[in-house]
């Protein structure tokens, strides 16, 4: 799914084993042996609120010259508390958000 998860104990994000058990996904860290239940509910990573809305963010790359071209878009979640203005703008324009960091040469 492309959602970055990491071990809450040791921070490992590569050596993880996901396993579906009764509809829930448990994750096993092969680095420190911790097993935890993966929370599938999107959540704001700043205030941990679940008041988030899906939005699309553009994936841009710098082609020849200075022109930025949009390659594709990815799903992100905007927090109604932390990203209020961004979210309002997104709902008005309904066009993909520009990433915070633009590619540089």
Instruction: Write out the residues near Zn ion by the rule CB under 5 A.
Output: 7, 9-10, 12, 29, 31-32, 34, 44, 46-47, 49, 79, 81-82
CB 80 within 8 A of CB 69: no
CB half-sphere exposure, 10, CA atoms < 13 A: 13
Distance in Å, CB of 18 to Zn ion, minimum: 14
Q: Which is nearer to Zn ion, 49 or 69 (CB)?
A: 49
> Min. distance of Cβ 26 from Zn ion in angstroms?
13
* Nearer to Zn ion among residue 13 and residue 71 (C-beta): 13
C-beta of residue 7 within 8 angstroms of C-beta of residue 33: no
Closest to Zn ion by CB, 59 vs 84, is 84
Instruction: State the nearest-atom distance from the C-beta of 33 to Zn ion, in Å.
Output: 7
What is the rounded CA–CA span in Å between residue 41 and residue 52? 10
* H/E run at residue 93: helix 84-93
């Amino acid at each position: 799914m492309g959602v970055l998860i990491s071990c809450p104990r040791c921070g490992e994000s590569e050596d993880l084993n996901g396993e579906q058990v009764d509809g829930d996904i448990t994750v096993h860290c092969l680095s420190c042996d911790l097993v935890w239940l993966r929370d599938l509910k999107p959540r704001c990573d700043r205030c941990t609120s679940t008041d988030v809305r899906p939005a699309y963010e553009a994936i841009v790359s710098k082609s020849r010259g200075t022109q930025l071209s949009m390659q594709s878009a990815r799903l992100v979640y905007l927090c109604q508390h932390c990203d209020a203005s961004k979210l309002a703008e997104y709902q008005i324009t309904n066009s993909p958000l520009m990433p915070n960091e633009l590619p540089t040469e």
